[in-house]
Amino acid sequence: MTTVIYTLGVVVFIIGIIASIALHELGHLLPARFFGVKVTQYFVGFGRTLWSRRRGELEYGLKAIPLGGYVKLVGMLPPDDKHGPDAVPDTNTGLFTQLAADARQAEYEHVTEADRRRLFYRKPWWQKLIIMAGGPVVNVILAFTMFLIVFAGFGVPTPTTTVAAVADCAITDTEAGRACTDNDPVAPAKKAGLKPGDTITAFDGQAISNWDELSQLIRDNKDRTTTISYRRDGTEHTEDITTSVLARASLDDPDSTVKVGFLGVTAEVEQRRHGVGTVLSTMGQYTKATGDLIVHLPQRMVEVAKAAVGDQRQDDGPISVVGASRVAGELVTTGNPTWSERAISLLLLLASINLFLALFNLVPLLPMDGGHIAGTLWEAVRRGIARLRRKPDPGFVDVAKMLPIAYGVGLLLILMSVILIYADIVNPVKLS
Q: Which of the two residues, 366 and 249, has the higher pLDDT score?
A: 366
Where does CATH 2.30.42.10 sit in the chain?
Answer: 158-272
Query: What is the mean predicted confidence (pLDDT) over 10-14?
Result: 93
Interatomic CA distance for residues 163 and 229, integer angstroms: 12
Q: What is the DSSP letter of 230?
A: E
Q: 179: which residues sit within 8 A by CB, 6+ positions away? A: none
Q: For 219-255, give one letter per residue: b (16+ CB within 10 A) or e.
A: bebeeeebebbbbeeeeeeeeebebbebeeeeeeeee
Q: Which of 135-149, 180-194, 235-249 has the highest average model confidence (pLDDT)? A: 135-149
Q: pLDDT band for 97, please (50, 70, 90 cuts).
A: low
DSSP structure class, residue 35: T
Give the pLDDT score at 115.
83
pLDDT of the residue at 139: 96
Distance CA(215)–CA(212), nearest Å, equals 5
In this predicted structure, the answer to whether residue 371 has a pLDDT above a threshold of 80 is yes
Give the integer Cα–Cα distance in Å for 15 and 22.
Answer: 10
Confidence band, pLDDT 50/70/90 cuts, at residue 402: confident
Mean pLDDT in residue range 127-153: 95
What gap in Å lies between CA 286 and CA 355, rounded to an integer? 8
Distance (Å, whole) CA 4 – CA 1: 5
Q: What DSSP character marks residue 178?
A: S
Buried-state track 102-121, b at ≥16 Cβ within 10 A, e below 16: ebbeebbeebeeeeeebbbb
The residue that leads in pLDDT, 139 or 366, is 139
Which one, of 219, 203, 211, lies nearest residue 262 by Cα? 219
The pLDDT-based confidence of 365 (bands split at 50, 70, 90) is confident
User: Do the Cβ atoms of 230 and 194 come closer than 8 Å?
Assistant: yes
**Whether residue 84 has pLDDT greater than 60:** no
CATH architecture of 158-272: Roll (2.30)
| H/E segment holding residue 269 | strand 265-272
Averaged pLDDT, 203-226: 91
pLDDT tier for residue 100 given thresholds of 50, 70 and 90 = low
Task: Please return the burial class of 99, using the count of CB atoms within 10 Å of its CB with bins 0-12, 13-18 and 19+.
Answer: middle
Q: Computed from CA positions of residues 149, 153, 157, 163, in that sequence, does the dihedral angle turn out positive or negative?
A: positive
- The pLDDT of 91-105, averaged and rounded, is 61
Banded pLDDT at 428 (limits 50, 70, 90): confident
- Is 25 known to be catalytic? yes
Total residue length of the chain: 432
Closest CA to 183 of 175, 194, 174: 175
Kindly report the backbone phi and psi dihedral angles of residue 94, in degrees, each rounded to the nearest multiple of 5, phi listed first: 95, 145
Of the candidates 292, 318, 352, 360, which has an alpha carbon nearest to the alpha carbon of residue 144?
352
Q: What's the predicted TM-score (pTM) here?
A: 0.82
Q: Does 91 have pLDDT greater than 70?
A: no
Q: Choose the catalytic residue: 25, 107, 330, 379.
A: 25
State the pLDDT at residue 85: 43
Class of residue 410 by CB neighbours under 10 A (exposed 0-12, middle 13-18, buried 19+): middle
Question: pLDDT at position 432, please?
Answer: 60
90, pLDDT greater than 60: no
